[in-house]
């Protein structure tokens, strides 16, 4: 597996160097900062569970652009960034003696799971840009890997407010991404291929199989 990854990167770098040698403007790159916000859907709810409040996500980082053709309209983007995602529902997490338990409570004021992630997007990029035109259409599709740096569960019930570090999550996450838009403003979607929980969490005898779907806007800034 490691050999395949290394070979893939070598081929890309070799092809990119050939393109750079033939580009009319060798400085034509779409290296970008990105900032995004999303609404976070939760798929695969256990019976009786539903989303509440505003589940949101924030992301930001930088992407290195590697052109694949002379025109610069096709490229590979490799990046790194940070993200914060929150998920609100009537699923309540509680902890006693380091043991985390889950229940469904429709009377809960607020129940939130929040994650902080280090992200690594890999994109195949198409755009109709030129070296002098910075307003263009784009379609970027790819995969995004992420590592959960920390996660916290919190709930409010009347005058009671409890929160703790949640360790029941799958640390390594990955999924499919798609961005489409014009100029700075773009629609963005992420569909998780991994489950949010690590398989040890359950409610009423049902294993939690939450899978995030995030839809929102992403802004690319040169």
Cα–Cα dist 112/87, whole Å: 6
pLDDT digits (tens, 9 = 90+) for 4-17: 444 344 434 444 44
Alpha carbon separation from 17 to 65, 117, 131 (Å, rounded): 12, 32, 18
Q: What token pair was written down for 96?
A: 């006693």
Band of residue 181 on the pLDDT scale cut at 50, 70, 90: very high
Range of the domain at 177: 2-221
> Which pLDDT value is given to residue 145?
97
pLDDT in tens, 70-109: 877 889 999 999 999 999 999 999 988 888 999 999 988 8
Contact criterion met (CB below 8 Å) for 38 and 179: no
Bridge partner list, 99: 96
Angle CA 91–209–156, to nearest 5 = 15
Residues 6 or more apart whose Cβ sits within 8 Å of residue 144: 119, 120, 121, 122, 174, 175, 176, 177, 190
Burial category of 190 from C-beta neighbours within 10 Å (exposed 0-12, middle 13-18, buried 19 and up):
buried
CA distance 126 to 119: 22
Longest CA span, the chain: 67
Which H or E run includes 16? helix 2-22
Query: How many structural domains does the chain have?
Result: 1
The two three-digit tokens of residue 173, written as one number: 């996450």
Mean per-residue pLDDT, 117-125: 96
CATH code of the domain covering residue 210:
2.40.128
């Amino acid at each position: 597996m490691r050999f395949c990854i290394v070979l893939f990167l070598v081929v890309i770098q070799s092809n990119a160097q050939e393109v750079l040698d033939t580009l009319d403007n060798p400085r034509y790159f779409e290296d970008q900062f990105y900032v995004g916000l999303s609404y976070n859907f939760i798929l695969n709810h256990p019976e009786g569970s539903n989303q509440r409040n505003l589940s949101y996500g924030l992301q930001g980082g930088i992407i290195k652009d590697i052109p694949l053709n002379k025109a610069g309209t096709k490229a590979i983007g490799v990046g790194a960034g940070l993200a914060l995602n929150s998920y609100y529902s009537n699923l309540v997490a509680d902890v006693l003696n380091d043991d985390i338990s889950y229940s469904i409570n429709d009377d809960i004021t607020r129940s939130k799971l929040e994650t902080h992630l280090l992200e690594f997007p890999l994109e195949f990029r198409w755009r109709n840009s030129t070296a002098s035109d910075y307003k263009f259409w784009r379609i970027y599709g790819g995969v995004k890997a992420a590592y959960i740096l920390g996660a916290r569960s919190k709930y409010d019930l009347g005058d009671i407010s409890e929160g703790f570090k949640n360790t029941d999550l799958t640390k390594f996450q990955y999924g499919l991404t798609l961005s489409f838009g014009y100029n700075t403003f773009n629609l963005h979607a992420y569909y998780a291929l991994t489950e949010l929980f690590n398989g040890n969490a359950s409610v009423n005898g049902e294993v939690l199989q939450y899978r995030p779907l995030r839809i929102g806007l992403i802004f690319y800034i040169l």
